[in-house]
């Protein structure tokens, strides 16, 4: 795994041995938790959501999600 993939897994709070199902499950869990509709426009949650989405895209591009 490269630096970007390791950082993406860390952003999703997963270890390097996580399989595709675990990555997908964690992504959806965090997506619901930090979504603006559930946080009333909280800026901190919005920033975390952006990191989660970026991590997901990085892992998809690398074939890990």
Q: Give the pLDDT band of residue 12 (cuts 50, 70, 90).
A: very high
State the DSSP H helix or E strand holding residue 35, giving kind and residue range, or none if neither.
none
* pLDDT tier for residue 40 given thresholds of 50, 70 and 90: confident
Quickly state the pLDDT bin for 11 (edges 50, 70, 90): very high
Residue 65 CB neighbour total at 10 angstroms: 22
Where in the chain are the domains? 3-61
Q: How far apart are CA 5 and CA 8, in angstroms?
A: 5
**Fold (topology level) of 3-61:** Helix Hairpins (1.10.287)
Kindly report the CA angle at 12 between 21 and 35, in degrees rounded to 5?
100
pLDDT for 60 beyond 90:
yes
Question: Quick one: pLDDT at residue 42?
Answer: 86
Closest CA to 65 of 35, 30, 36: 30
């Amino acid at each position: 795994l490269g630096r970007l993939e390791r950082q993406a897994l860390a952003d999703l709070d997963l270890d390097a041995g996580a399989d595709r199902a675990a990555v997908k499950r964690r992504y959806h869990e965090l997506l619901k938790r930090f979504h603006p509709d559930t946080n009333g426009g909280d800026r901190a949650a919005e920033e975390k959501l952006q990191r989660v989405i970026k991590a997901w895209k990085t892992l998809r591009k690398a074939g890990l999600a």
